[in-house]
Amino acid sequence: MKSKLFSDLVKEYFDFLVETYGFSIKHEEYRSEVMGNASVIFESLHIGINIVLDRGQVLINIGPSSLPRQDWFEFSDVVHFFAPELEPLYNFPRNFADYENELENQMSRFNQIMCKYCEPLLLGDFSMQEKIRQIGDKRVAEMKTQFNGLSEEYKRKHSIGKQPTKPGG
């Protein structure tokens, strides 16, 4: 996938950020050496939005531009706050034979969700940020629990961590 294609699709589907909310594109990046991952960062006076292509999946982070990007909110946590009935937000691509169409479907869906539910954030209102942060903390805790459970199951299945029994004892 060419960088231009991803960034052009992002600009097409998220042009409302520039046209309606006064965002500008702060940064575009394509990294062929990292599985063809790419990103486009939009920024307004108070808000940053990072739209990323990671192994065929479009991911979004949004947050106060005064914070480092790693402290921005995962888009699924934001959407869960405004519209919890939309879970799960991310539908991972299944048909890579029509890769461009898969990307367009993802971006179209996120465009609609962002327009419909996220206007307070797009306007710079982060009064709900503690509640969004709690949603994110809960999601991470659930993922850790699930991961630890799978790890323990794997250990049991493969007898990892058990003391070997001595012959005749």
Report if residue 150 sits inside a domain: no
So what's the pLDDT on residue 154?
Answer: 65
Residues 6+ apart with CB under 8 A from 162: none
Report if residue 81 sits inside a domain: yes
So what's the pLDDT on residue 133?
Answer: 95
Report if residue 140 sits inside a domain: no
Report if residue 163 sits inside a domain: no
Report if residue 143 sits inside a domain: no
Distances (CA, A) of 125 to 47, 59, 61, 83: 9, 22, 16, 17
* CB contact at 8 A, 53 and 113: no
* CB contact at 8 A, 78 and 121: yes
Q: Is the dihedral of CA 94, 99, 101, 105 positive or negative?
A: positive
Report if residue 148 sits inside a domain: no
- CA-based nearest residue to 125, from 59, 60, 62: 62
**Residue 46 and residue 24: Cα distance in Å, rounded?**
12
Residues of the chain with pLDDT under 50: 1-4, 160-161, 169
Total structural domains within the chain: 1
Report if residue 149 sits inside a domain: no
Report if residue 32 sits inside a domain: yes
* Tokens 């709900």 belong to residue: 128
Residues 6+ apart with CB under 8 A from 56: 92, 93, 96, 99, 102, 103
Extended strands (E) in the chain: 24-31, 37-43, 47-54, 57-64, 73-74
So what's the pLDDT on residue 104?
Answer: 86
Range of the domain at 27: 3-126
